[in-house]
């Protein structure tokens, strides 16, 4: 899943900052539903990562059954935190 494709699919834009609060809320809700239905591990991770960046991701133990996937998600969170100014 490409990031731009996810933005277009859930928020109908390539620029998430241009999405209205209503569009953002509806897109997050659709993304959360799809996360719950998705069985492909890579696609689940992509959906979870997008939701995490938007502050709407479920806890790791809810999102991922596999410990390796939870560890990958922790690494992703650590990488994002490292890019934020202190």
8: region left, alpha or beta (phi > 0 left; psi from -120 to 50 alpha): alpha
Spatial separation of the C-alpha atoms in residues 44 and 55, rounded to whole Å: 16
Domain positions in the chain are 3-83
* pLDDT at 84 (0 to 100): 87
pLDDT digits (tens, 9 = 90+) for 29-85: 999 999 999 999 999 999 999 999 999 999 999 999 999 999 999 999 999 999 988
3-state helix, strand, coil in the chain (%, to 5): 75, 0, 25
- Does this model's pTM top 0.85? My answer is yes
């Amino acid at each position: 899943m490409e990031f731009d494709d996810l933005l277009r699919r859930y928020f109908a834009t390539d620029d998430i900052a241009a999405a209205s609060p209503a569009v953002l809320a509806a897109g997050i809700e659709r993304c959360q539903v799809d996360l719950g239905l998705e069985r492909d591990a890579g696609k689940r991770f992509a959906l979870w990562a997008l939701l995490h960046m938007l502050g709407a991701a479920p806890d790791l133990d809810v999102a991922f059954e596999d410990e390796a996937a939870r560890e990958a998600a922790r690494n992703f969170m650590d990488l994002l935190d490292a890019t934020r100014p202190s």
